[in-house]
Structure 1
């Protein structure tokens, strides 16, 4: 129903994504959830062959020269297959590519971006470390300058694609004496000597994505594989927060849609007390709430995507992206909860995929920055914007719009 926001080129891309989703065999979905498939190479290869990955990047590097609205639309469609499909799709084609396209050299784009978007090679982003997740600037991974190369040592964990990636985007400390924000650099690290996939995690959901702990021991990284300036990894990190969090939110909608769709069909057919259970308000109102949440989530996604495309001020985008990630992921989790609830006991079994979707979407509010971190960012940016506008006299002083607003003795703050 949101197609009115899309132009004809975007509508065509949406249909291409839907056509692709239809080709994915049921057995692949089941085998990934059973961890029989550790990394979906064939899925990514076919997505690349169809030129569906990285649609917002320049055609010169393998994209389609489109925008964030198009990207969010594609991510939602891919998410219908399952959250992990969208995760693996987005990690390489959105997160890693974004860093290289925005901050890398033409040589890096030619060597890594073009074949990645074609589905010929695979990539993973290495951010989280064993000692902490959201504390990005507390990284203990190091890269020591040795003249014509760096020597990288450290560990990263919960790395989606760690099992199947051919190269990794790794953040490491390059100036141990600098303030944390000013001493980190970003590197492209090929799977070579010293790079080891040490441990594959047994996950509650989102299985089959090769989530691993990566160990880097005395890895030689050529100087030309540094992305962005020396000790300026924070600049790469800041731009990547958009695809990490906005992309996560968009794909969550797609992953929740099948649960609501299945619940709608089930409650229309399932009878109790002589009539379809959908005729009982206790059921239909929960479906109505789920549908409303999904539509509200889409509205927020498209609004934020358009703001990013329009180049709105960084601080406002930071808040909008954080709001989107928090609101959309929590709304989708609630929508899936409702879907399972109205289906009753059968929804808790593997007769329907709702139980898998429920498990998969639990990750949405945890990864790419927990929703508690999103709330912290939202509050911080909101308060700063409030006092900036207040000080500049840009908004009406609404505090005075009360009968006794001048009762100064009643306004005690300390």
Structure 2
């Protein structure tokens, strides 16, 4: 995040997170990528001990009463360790906690948020199913009302923290006859009888986060573990899209940043034809574009974080978050591409971490809503915004500012 846009408190917070990031052992990063560590409990425990998890939540529940700008600063810095570190950092403390803080009871916050932000327990969000991820309303996981509890059955896959989490945020259909968006409930499900980690995925990148398929077989979920209201899962889901997608954008910047730094340093030392390769435009222009894309990405994240913090209209926030997630993830993938191109063959080896960063960041435009879904949301919200603006006559009618504007017979639309 830009230094001059931070106040003193945010800058001090950023420095705290940086100190934590510098303390993480190199071997942990290597072991995560090799899947020797299946879930980084020690990493999250230390973050909790330092009170770095969930900074924007009330102090009453273990947060710091900060804001989304501060959260994005933290997510970028943690992302420099590797994308999966930011994923696991954010899934529990930013996604699951966000849902419980916004929609949960005080008893739920005391039981599930407070110890998680201390790093004592861990959580995961269960959204995607084997039959599909983007079709949230098509969930086939069911929860049947049995009086004092619900009986949960179904499967969820690609769950970061599926191995390692102590409890899960699970969406399930509770009214099969209702409209898809009106018959889903969100539950807090403790790991226990009937909760099975059935499969651990071998991933191209982002390893070490316990990404698994979970199976729920006749799991008894007490009524007090309904999050929000029964059949009100869509209300929880809507608010979750902010931390999922804005958090993803911020951490993607952090994960891409080291690739640019490594390529920049390499270009000053590596020589070809008798001079450092930074002196060749074919190299320096790629470094320049990568730096530009990172700065543009930070600007979008900062503006969107400000929009959320200042409670901009919900439709505007939806559009900005979707734009930010799409633009930032695609731009950062280009950043890493440029970095590897600058380094040439050595960048394709394990001598430098650029190849790992390249593998990790391929996830960015897929998870938390594919970028195609983001484009759909952007278009939908923009057209609504356009017509509202036209009907309110808020701006000049620029269509008339053409020499032939009155030649209406030439304006054929059908």
The answer to whether residue 6 in structure 2 is matched with residue 2 in structure 1 is no
Shift of 1:124: 0.2
Query: Partner residue of 1:64?
Result: 64
**Number of corresponding residues:** 414
Once residues 147 and 397 of structure 2 are traced to their aligned partners in structure 1, the CA distance between those partners, rounded to angstroms, is: 59
Shift of 1:368: 0.2
Superposition pairs for residues 356-375 of structure 1, below 5 Å?
Answer: 356-375=356-375
Query: Partner residue of 2:270?
Result: 270
Query: Partner residue of 2:410?
Result: 410
Shift of 1:397: 1.1
Unaligned runs of 5+ in 2: none
Shift of 1:147: 0.6
1:265-288 Cα distance to aligned partner (Å, 9 max, x none): 001000001100001010000000
Shift of 1:406: 1.4
Q: Spell out structure 1 runs of 4+ moving beyond 3 A.
A: none
Deviates more, 1:403-412 or 1:61-70: 403-412
Unaligned runs of 5+ in 1: none
Shift of 1:389: 1.1
Query: Partner residue of 1:327?
Result: 327
Shift of 1:365: 0.2
Query: Partner residue of 2:248?
Result: 248
Once residues 145 and 395 of structure 2 are traced to their aligned partners in structure 1, the CA distance between those partners, rounded to angstroms, is: 51
Query: Partner residue of 2:386?
Result: 386
The answer to whether residue 264 in structure 2 is matched with residue 259 in structure 1 is no
Q: Secondary structure at the match of 1:402?
A: coil
Query: Partner residue of 2:96?
Result: 96
Deviates more, 1:103-112 or 1:398-407: 398-407
Superposition pairs for residues 161-240 of structure 1, below 5 Å?
Answer: 161-240=161-240
Query: Partner residue of 2:31?
Result: 31
Shift of 1:226: 0.3
Shift of 1:80: 0.4
1:355-381 Cα distance to aligned partner (Å, 9 max, x none): 000000000000000000000100110
Query: Partner residue of 1:133?
Result: 133
Once residues 396 and 175 of structure 1 are traced to their aligned partners in structure 2, the CA distance between those partners, rounded to angstroms, is: 49
1:6-48 Cα distance to aligned partner (Å, 9 max, x none): 1111111100100000111111100110011000000000000
Q: Secondary structure at the match of 1:154?
A: strand
Q: Secondary structure at the match of 1:396?
A: coil
The answer to whether residue 279 in structure 2 is matched with residue 314 in structure 1 is no
Q: Secondary structure at the match of 2:207?
A: coil
CA RMSD of aligned residues (A): 0.6
TM-score (norm: length of structure 2): 0.99
TM-score (norm: length of structure 1): 0.99
Once residues 217 and 392 of structure 1 are traced to their aligned partners in structure 2, the CA distance between those partners, rounded to angstroms, is: 54
Q: Secondary structure at the match of 2:81?
A: coil
Once residues 331 and 162 of structure 1 are traced to their aligned partners in structure 2, the CA distance between those partners, rounded to angstroms, is: 29
Superposition pairs for residues 17-28 of structure 1, below 5 Å?
Answer: 17-28=17-28
Once residues 60 and 156 of structure 1 are traced to their aligned partners in structure 2, the CA distance between those partners, rounded to angstroms, is: 32
Query: Partner residue of 1:400?
Result: 400
